Amino acid sequence: MVVSGGRIVAAGPPASLQIPADARQIALPGLTLLPGLIEGHSHLLLHPYNETPWNDQVLFESLGERVARGVVHARRTLEAGVTTARDLGSEGAGYGDVGLRDAINKGVIAGPRLLVAGPAIVATGSYGPKGAPEHSLPLGAEAADGVDDLIRVARTQMGRGADFIKVYADYRWSPTGTAAPSFTLDELERLVSVTTSSGRVVVAHAATAEGMRRAILAGVQTIEHGDGGTDETWALMREHGVALCPTLSAGHAISQYGGWRPGQGPEPERVRIKRESYRAAVQAGVEMCFGGDVGVYPHGDNVRELELMVDWGRDLGMDDRAALQAATAGNARLLGLDDRGLVAPGLLADLIAVEGDPSSQISALRAIRWVMKGGQIVVETTSR
């Protein structure tokens, strides 16, 4: 392969390449070279909930601390072979994610190429932190109500640097604490119309069948979570070309924080429901977006999601090769990133090298030995 100016110029057998006389030659014997991974659902401004609960991160950690943590998380993510990441909301840290993205782009700090949502949008009364009804607590997202308010908030977020808009189509706010839709179909349709006219997309947090249905019909790009999907929902997603980011690892990790150990004792209900909904979506042919809600669990452990995708879906066709494709070319196409995701001339030189063959054993992605981003080597180790 020949790399110049941050892009792949040529790739193929050495005898077929025209290599400049002054080129630096890099040999990676015994390693597998492949495109950098593309993470579809992360929160760089969060850290694992067994360290500090989400409420306490939002309420008690300063913006300075959270951004400082984000700098560390960005480097860990890049070192794990993730060269592009979609960040799905700053969770109470304002536009800290925009700042991280810009600092990475300017070379101030190390990290993956970021696509960021800013604060995300919720319906008034639906999101947390909650409690102390006599007081107005800071929220983990920005509230908006009605078509006019949604348009205003979306335009404000885009103007302040959001690459896309994230909306919570439902949330756990019913009288019983279960998830219920939080926006009408009309509200969501207008939000999507205004956002797409700017050249951006809308993605939707949705865990109920009705919340998913409204978001799909409104024209969102991806559904995040999708726990309550039904046969009708999956069919609708296929019909409208909407992908699912199942975030298998989030609930799996939270259940372990509560004391459960995989393979020991009864499987928690939330894990069972997630496994069944994911398998139903795979079986229905819904396109999968690789994204685990990392931040709920440690940054740099992104491969955990791919391992679960394979473990829970191998017999349905989501094998190691399919999961690897979802994390590279699949997410590149899904997210409209036509300059990455493959090893091919003209594309960004975002590359990784690993021990083993992840197309037959996805866990090989844990053995990252070399990372290049935009033609610059950012990780180089010979430890085996």
Each residue of 110-129: pLDDT tens digit? 999 999 999 999 999 999 99
Distance CA 61, CA 237 (A): 38
* Residue showing tokens 């509230």: 143
Mean per-residue pLDDT, 353-358 = 98
Instruction: Inform me whether the pLDDT recorded for 383 exceeds 70.
Output: no
Instruction: Report the CATH number of the 38-116+226-341 domain.
Output: 3.20.20.140
Tens of pLDDT, residues 226-263: 999 999 999 999 999 999 999 999 999 999 999 999 99
Share of the chain above pLDDT 70, in %: 99
Say what the pLDDT of residue 280 is: 98
Looking at residue 264, the DSSP 8-state letter turns out to be: B
CA distances 23 to 2, 348, 383, Å, are 9, 18, 25
Average pLDDT, the chain: 97
Q: How confident is the model at residue 166 (pLDDT cuts 50, 70, 90)?
A: very high
The DSSP-derived string for 110-162 is: ---EEEE-TT-EE-TTTSSS---TTS----SSEE--HHHHHHHHHHHHHHTT-
Helices and strands (DSSP H and E) totals, the chain:
12, 17
Instruction: Inform me whether the pLDDT recorded for 269 exceeds 80.
Output: yes
Instruction: Inform me whether the pLDDT recorded for 9 exceeds 80.
Output: yes
Say what the pLDDT of residue 382 is: 57
Tens of pLDDT, residues 29-67: 999 999 999 999 999 999 999 999 999 999 999 999 999
**pTM passes above 0.95:** yes
Mean per-residue pLDDT, 185-202 = 98
Mean per-residue pLDDT, 286-296 = 98
Judged on CB neighbours under 10 Å (0-12, 13-18, 19+), 148 is exposed
Higher pLDDT, 366 or 384: 366
Say what the pLDDT of residue 27 is: 92
Mean per-residue pLDDT, 349-353 = 98
Say what the pLDDT of residue 150 is: 98
- For 351-364, b where at least 16 C-beta lie within 10 A, e where not — what string? bbbbebebbeebeb
